[in-house]
């Protein structure tokens, strides 16, 4: 027979064990609840991130759909500052892509617009619209450039700021034309276009003082030539533009060819891979058809 003292000790021991078990269960319950709450919060945050990304993706798709159906000429441009340009779906790997580069105001966008108009990629109705709008803004000479420079800021400032894209077909090739900025503030955008190119058109302003400005320190003619060669472009057309301003002078053309040719060879271009073309975009001389001006055709 156990004594009363022994019975009391046993009961106290049982009570202590029950209290310990109860506290252990309570702690386990709290831990499980906190873990579940953390999982729920993580899952909720993940769902919000997925929904946010899905919304951004849907908005991007809507913008692309709107841009791709906006007009006959397919023109896309970067809208995110220095974000790298991404080609459209129709730009297949086997297509020839050419980029127009050169010093600011050399006539790259005007050359692109006039070329597309001559090839039928811009209708007469669209061209009439650009001419009317540019004259209303006091920038009548920019009518062809407006075919490529579509943003209000580009048209107001009269310079290309982002890469515009268009295309045309020849007998053997589908040509993708990339009109790159010439202003030094937009070199990153120029690079995003030039990195896509298989060949380049380096547009030169032949007027007195302008060619020299492009070749001096800070001039974009030199920098653009170096950049496109560093990207692996070895086929180059040098479009010596605005020849009308120098009376289609052969001496001026030869002088530019000697000075620039020497520099291009130092960049790594081979003479056999460079094609030199004197032209006047504004007077439509030697662009698509052979020149009709005797001052140029004689030589």
Confidence at residue 30, expressed as pLDDT on a 0 to 100 scale = 53
Confidence at residue 20, expressed as pLDDT on a 0 to 100 scale = 52
Residue 261: alpha-carbon gap to chain centroid: 28
Residue 15 in any domain: the answer is: no
What residue numbers bound the domain in which 219 lies?
Answer: 97-107+159-298
**Pairwise CA distance, residues 240 & 276, whole Å:** 7
Residue 240 in any domain: the answer is: yes
Over residues 66-109, the pLDDT tens digits come to 444 333 444 444 444 445 545 454 444 456 677 777 666 778 88
Residue 279 in any domain: the answer is: yes
Q: Based on the structure, what is the number of domains in the chain? A: 1
pTM, rounded to two decimals = 0.63
* SS3 call for 237: strand
Give me the sign of the Cα torsion angle 183, 185, 187, 192. Answer: negative
Using CB atoms within 10 Å of the CB of residue 68, give its burial: 0 to 12 exposed, 13 to 18 middle, 19+ buried.
middle
**Pairwise CA distance, residues 131 & 128, whole Å:** 5
pLDDT averaged over every residue in the chain? 74
Count of CB atoms within 10 A of residue 235's CB? 16
**Pairwise CA distance, residues 176 & 164, whole Å:** 11
Confidence at residue 291, expressed as pLDDT on a 0 to 100 scale = 92
Over residues 3-29, the pLDDT tens digits come to 444 444 444 445 445 545 545 545 454
Q: What are the CA-CA distances from residue 166 to residues 5, 14, 80, 140, 148 (Å)?
A: 102, 88, 20, 22, 8
Confidence at residue 197, expressed as pLDDT on a 0 to 100 scale = 83
Residue 291 in any domain: the answer is: yes
Residue 68 in any domain: the answer is: no
Domain CATH for 169 = 3.40.50.300
Q: Judge contact between 97 and 197, C-beta under 8 A.
A: yes
User: Smallest Cα–Cα separation from 182: which of 213, 150, 137?
Assistant: 213
Residue 200 in any domain: the answer is: yes
Count of CB atoms within 10 A of residue 125's CB? 7
Low-confidence residues of the chain, pLDDT below 50? Answer: 1-13, 15-16, 19, 22, 25, 27, 29, 32-33, 39, 43-53, 55-82, 85, 87, 89-93
Count of CB atoms within 10 A of residue 233's CB? 21
Residue 264 in any domain: the answer is: yes
**Pairwise CA distance, residues 228 & 203, whole Å:** 13
């Amino acid at each position: 027979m156990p004594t009363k003292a022994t019975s009391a000790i046993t009961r106290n021991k049982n009570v202590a064990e029950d209290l310990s078990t109860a506290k252990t269960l309570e702690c386990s319950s709290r831990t499980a609840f906190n873990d579940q709450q953390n999982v729920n919060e993580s899952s909720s945050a993940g769902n919000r991130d997925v929904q946010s990304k899905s919304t951004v993706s849907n908005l991007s798709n809507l913008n692309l759909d709107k841009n791709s159906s906006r007009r006959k000429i397919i023109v896309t441009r970067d809208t995110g500052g220095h974000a790298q340009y991404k080609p459209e779906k129709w730009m297949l790997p086997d297509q020839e892509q050419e980029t127009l580069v050169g010093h600011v105001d050399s006539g790259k966008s005007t050359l692109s617009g006039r070329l597309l108009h001559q090839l039928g990629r811009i209708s007469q109705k669209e061209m009439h619209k650009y001419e009317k709008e540019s004259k209303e803004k006091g920038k009548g000479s920019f009518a062809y450039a407006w075919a490529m420079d579509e943003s209000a800021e580009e048209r107001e400032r009269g310079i290309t700021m982002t890469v515009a894209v268009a295309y045309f077909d020849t007998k053997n090739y589908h040509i993708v034309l990339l009109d790159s900025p010439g202003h030094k503030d937009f070199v990153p955008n120029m690079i995003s276009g030039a990195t896509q190119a298989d060949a380049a058109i380096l547009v030169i302003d032949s007027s007195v003082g302008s060619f020299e400005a492009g070749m001096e320190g800070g001039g974009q003619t030199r920098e653009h030539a170096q950049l496109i060669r560093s990207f692996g472009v070895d086929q180059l057309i040098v479009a010596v533009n605005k020849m009308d301003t120098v009376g289609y002078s052969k001496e001026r053309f030869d002088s530019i060819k000697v000075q620039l040719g020497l520099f291009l060879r130092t960049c790594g271009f081979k003479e056999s891979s460079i094609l030199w073309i004197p032209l006047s975009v504004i007077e439509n001389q030697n662009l698509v058809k052979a020149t009709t001006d005797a001052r140029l055709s004689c030589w």
